[in-house]
Chains A and B, each alone.
Chain A
């Protein structure tokens, strides 16, 4: 079951802080890594990472993949209360099956 492991499980910060969320994954048949933000109930797509060392950015969020060390990080700078959510990391396997495996998520709480 531990094909995707996220840390920390929960994090509480204050507005303006910078946070780094971690995701490590199993290398077998690895194709890509995804990050999602889950507010209330439904996850929304953030990033897809396939190549190592190439940073993807969207506003205050950025993410990078390290295929040598088998992990990815999601950075959020100048956090806002609206960033409070569960952040999910997911691994896509290669091949025709295209299995998608999610980690358990990191619960981020941003206090005013």
Chain B
């Protein structure tokens, strides 16, 4: 069965610190993986996506993620966070040609100014 696990419900970091948000997936085929961000009272916005090729993908606002097939992971990273990065981050899994996607529960990121 397909699943996405974000083990950290809440992460707090200081402004300027580095960040890693963890995502583990379960899927027997070739996964398509995404990270979305949701700011308060807004819809989800796509940060980055991975389909194939280079396992490190770059996204908007300095975010990047690394795909690891051996670890079944797709962790999100940022070198230096800003207070405006405070939001909820969702890791999402899709199968090729699938209509439906699988959402993780989300990680609330709180950046201390």
A binds B: no
Q: Which A residues have a C-beta under 8 Å from some C-beta of B?
A: none
Q: Which B residues have a C-beta under 8 Å from some C-beta of A?
A: none
